[in-house]
């Protein structure tokens, strides 16, 4: 409610389409999903749930990507995404050496469209200094782990996308989401409310505060971090009343891919690499 999100608890989200086979499980507040892409293995589930997904008479998904992209740009209050690399200023990209991924919807939906002409509470809450000509800001959240597989840091001094652009003769580095569009940065260390930063220098300090033991994170000054926490610009789990020791799989609604398969009544067919049973 604080984010102005439109949604309420509904009993038909993530439920077995055949409730006579498996007891209904309430596990969310999503009433419908308008997808601009597909998920391998979800075909049969989506065909059985036209009450949630936009499907055609044949049961296949009708994504209507153009409208999804437009709605994502101008009608969504909040975008939550992940990425492969973030630099010290908060620019991010999924383009790395030898890899190009996730560069479809994120650049379109993970930004703040300045031409927005409708106001919502979430958008208005991003205004720092009230003014008759002030503009709100779409909530753009980057949610990442400080390190990826094989101890590869997510936070880097320079995005590999910069070198990729040079090697490929591109006019600009393929930045997925630009720093000034990001309002919140969430890691396992804490959350940085970047929209509250008063300068680029402070923004860098806020990013370093939640960058863990990466090179960028190790540059964080403990005194600066404490000051940011006191001002509410950075929050650690303890600041939010969260006990990190309780963050186990027992807190998850679905504790495994197998649970999702069971909830779907066997309709979800995950790729083989996700099967561990």
pLDDT of residue 22: 37
pLDDT of residue 7: 32
Order of strands, sheet of 78-81, starting from the edge strand that comes earlier in the sequence: 78-81, 139-143, 184-186, 191-192, 234-235
Question: Which of residues 2 and 146 earns the better pLDDT score?
Answer: 146
Radius of gyration of the CA atoms of the chain, in A: 21
Q: How confident is the model at residue 80 (pLDDT cuts 50, 70, 90)?
A: very high
Pick the CATH number of 78-242 from 1.10.357, 3.40.50, 2.10.260, 3.40.1080: 3.40.1080
Q: What is the pTM of this model?
A: 0.82
* Longest distance between any two alpha carbons in the chain, whole Å: 61
pLDDT digits (tens, 9 = 90+) for 33-70: 888 777 889 999 999 989 888 888 898 888 777 888 88
> CA-to-CA distance for 166 and 170, rounded, in angstroms?
6
Q: Are 34 and 71 in contact (CB under 8 A)?
A: yes
pLDDT digits (tens, 9 = 90+) for 93-118: 998 888 777 666 778 888 898 887 78
pLDDT digits (tens, 9 = 90+) for 191-231: 999 999 999 999 999 999 999 999 999 999 999 999 999 99
For the chain, what are the domain ranges? 78-242
């Amino acid at each position: 409610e604080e984010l102005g999100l439109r949604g309420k608890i509904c009993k038909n989200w993530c439920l077995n389409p055949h409730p006579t086979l498996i007891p209904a499980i309430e596990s969310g507040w999503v009433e419908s999903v308008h997808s601009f892409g597909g998920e391998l293995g979800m075909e049969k589930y989506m065909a059985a749930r036209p009450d949630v997904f936009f499907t055609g008479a044949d049961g296949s998904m009708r994504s209507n990507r153009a409208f999804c992209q437009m709605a994502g740009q101008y009608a969504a209050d909040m975008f939550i995404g992940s990425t492969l690399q973030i630099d010290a200023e908060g620019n991010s990209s999924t383009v790395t050496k030898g890899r190009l991924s996730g560069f479809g919807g994120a650049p379109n939906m993970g930004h703040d469209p300045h031409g927005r002409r409708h106001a919502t509470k979430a958008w208005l809450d991003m205004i720092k200094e009230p003014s008759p000509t002030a503009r709100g800001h779409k909530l753009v959240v980057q949610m990442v782990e400080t390190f990826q597989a094989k101890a590869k840091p997510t936070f880097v001094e320079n995005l590999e996308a910069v070198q990729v652009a040079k090697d490929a003769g591109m006019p600009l580095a393929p930045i997925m989401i630009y720093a000034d569009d990001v309002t919140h940065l969430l890691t396992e260390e804490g959350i940085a409310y970047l929209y509250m930063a008063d300068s680029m220098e402070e923004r860098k300090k806020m990013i370093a505060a939640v960058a863990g033991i990466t090179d960028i994170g190790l540059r964080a000054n403990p005194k600066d971090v404490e000051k940011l926490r006191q001002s509410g610009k950075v929050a650690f789990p303890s600041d939010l009343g969260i006990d990190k020791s309780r963050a186990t799989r027992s807190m998850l609604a679905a504790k495994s891919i197998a649970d999702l398969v069971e909830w779907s009544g066997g309709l979800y067919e995950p790729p083989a690499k996700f099967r561990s049973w």
